[in-house]
Amino acid sequence: MINHLASTLGIGDTARHARPFAQIEDGRHYSYADVDGVSARFAAALVALGVEPGDRVAVQVEKSIEALMLYLGCVRAGGVFLPLNTAYTASEVGYFLEDATPRLVVADPGKAETLAPYAEKAGARLETMGVWAGDGADHGSLFAHLPDAAAFEDVARSPDDLAAILYTSGTTGRSKGAMLSHDNLASNALTLKDYWHFTSDDVLIHALPIYHTHGLFVATNTTLVAGSSLIFMAKFDAGKVLDAMPGATALMGVPTFYTRLLADERLNKETAANMRLFVAGSAPLLAETHKQWEARTGHAILERYGMTEASMITSNPYDGQRRAGTVGHPLPGVALKVTDPDTGTALAQGEIGVIQAKGPNIFKGYWGMPEKTREELSEDGWFLTGDLGMIDDEGYVVIVGRGKDLIISGGFNVYPKEVEGEIDRLPGVVESAVIGVPHPDFGEGVVAVVVAEEGAEREAEAVMAPLKERVAKFKQPKRIVFVDALPRNAMGKVQKKDLREAYADMFQTAS
């Protein structure tokens, strides 16, 4: 038996060893031979550290080419990769470790001291890994475990074995670990390679984080299966992306990337002349951004729709009309239907309901949460996304809203209930409602509407200061609004729709 995902990604394929894989900002270049060799060293180190097939390996480190090799090494060793957002606080990471019970935790050296108690409580070994600079300095203990070379024999893994767990916040504040199999990831990468026409001639600008589906699986796995190469950036920088375009053919990004690139006067048809594909996702792309981009560059952005539990579900066509305000058609092999929220009955074309999807890309369930899995994943494989949408008269899928008041800010999911829980704990707060409203840069900006006790301080900093210690930066409100009471219906339910309407122009006015 082979290692299904590693084999699909072409790991170990000596025929492409001479091909370039990545140009790195520090001046280094990785070939496909380097990918095979370095990921084998990481795989060997993980096995030496006690990682056995099925063991979770939790990783919270800064983006680097070595962090990418650690992901591949974990797959090759038969482990289950568990990437964590670098913005998560130690207490947030503590929950993930307690829930997933990893064998190994790999942390940034600067966070090791604060994470050590949580790793110990979870019974996990803690190692550190920084960004390798090749200067002989100590960049973390994990590097010391790497053998000089390794002829590693990949651990056999079947298509149904777990390859990764990605946590997605729950509306109750409890995060859920989406279990992704080898075939979930492999099948989606193969589909995207063909659907988006990726070949060995492509050069993708990789400026996304590698702790979520978009940057880690969509961008990286698609590149690997196609034998393409990367311009690998530690983070998004509009100037650097524009500098890279003449030597690249594709860019994957969130809407924020495109609004910031549009703000640079150097963006024009000449700058983008060598590019063939611009992909946007993780948050809704404004129709105005779509129009401005096409006018400036001559390219229509290809918008797609996906989520942690399913990777990519739909995409606008590569050949054909890319319709602004839509996310295209279901990908080959993926079925999609719009259903009545109350009965689950399939609705007619043009009617709005809850989107459900089914296919080889759909996850295996939530780690340690069988009841939640049964609620959202039917026995015959239909996944209840919670997103509201419709299929228009030309068969394009349109996302019209999100159930459970999910906010997507800068491409990151923010679940209001979690932030509200932290605010409501603060002295002097009666209650709060967290909403997302249009933001010119982030897509949606997080706003907290707070009811304070009579006589209590009504200063934004009194709320923000403790939040900075409790929740990741992308979850923190960009504005705090104090009101005497929250709007409610006859049943006493807070009317967030009214709040979103009341503050819809908050960031537009400011800008």
pLDDT of residue 135: 59
pLDDT in tens, 69-114: 999 999 999 999 999 999 899 989 999 999 999 999 999 999 999 9
Determine the average pLDDT of the residues in 265-269.
96
pLDDT of residue 27: 92
Token pair belonging to 451: 């009811």
Determine the average pLDDT of the residues in 429-436.
90
pLDDT of residue 253: 94
pLDDT of residue 255: 87
Which residues in 451-484 are b (16+ Cβ under 10 Å) and which e? bbeeebeeeeebbeeebeebbeebbbbbebbbee
Q: Percentage of the chain surpassing pLDDT 70?
A: 96
pLDDT of residue 404: 64
pLDDT of residue 403: 67
CA–CA dist 140, 167 (Å, integer): 25
pLDDT in tens, 369-422: 999 999 999 999 999 998 888 999 999 999 876 666 778 898 887 878 778 889
Please give the C-alpha separations between residue 503 and each of 121, 283, 447, 463, 506, in angstroms, as whole numbers: 43, 20, 9, 19, 5
Stated as kind and residue range, the H or E segment containing 328 is none
209 contacts 292 by C-beta, under 8 angstroms: no
With 0-12 / 13-18 / 19 or more C-beta atoms within 10 angstroms meaning exposed / middle / buried, residue 201 is exposed
356 contacts 337 by C-beta, under 8 angstroms: yes
Determine the average pLDDT of the residues in 248-260.
93
pLDDT of residue 414: 83
Does the global pTM surpass 0.75? yes
Q: Is the pLDDT of residue 62 over 50?
A: yes
pLDDT of residue 430: 87
63 contacts 88 by C-beta, under 8 angstroms: no
Distance of CA 186 to the CA centre of its chain: 17
CB atoms within 10 A of CB 494: 18
350 contacts 392 by C-beta, under 8 angstroms: yes
3-state secondary structure 470-504: HCCHHHCCCEEEEECCCCECCCCCECHHHHHHHCC
Q: Which residue has the higher pLDDT, 328 or 453?
A: 328
pLDDT of residue 137: 60
pLDDT of residue 511: 44
Determine the average pLDDT of the residues in 490-500.
77
Distance of CA 123 to the CA centre of its chain: 27
Distance of CA 120 to the CA centre of its chain: 27
Determine the average pLDDT of the residues in 253-257.
90
Q: Which residue has the higher pLDDT, 392 or 169?
A: 392
> What mean pLDDT, rounded, does the chain reach?
92
CA–CA dist 342, 344 (Å, integer): 6
CA–CA dist 436, 450 (Å, integer): 14
Read off the amino acid at residue 292. Q
Beta-carbon contacts of 177 under 8 Å, excluding residues fewer than 6 positions away, are 82, 96, 99, 100, 165, 166, 167, 366, 367, 368, 369
Q: Is the pLDDT of residue 331 over 80?
A: yes
Token pair belonging to 487: 């709007």
Beta-carbon contacts of 284 under 8 Å, excluding residues fewer than 6 positions away, are 255, 399, 408, 443
pLDDT of residue 20: 97
Give 178's strand partners. Answer: 166, 366
Question: 3-class SS at 137?
Answer: coil
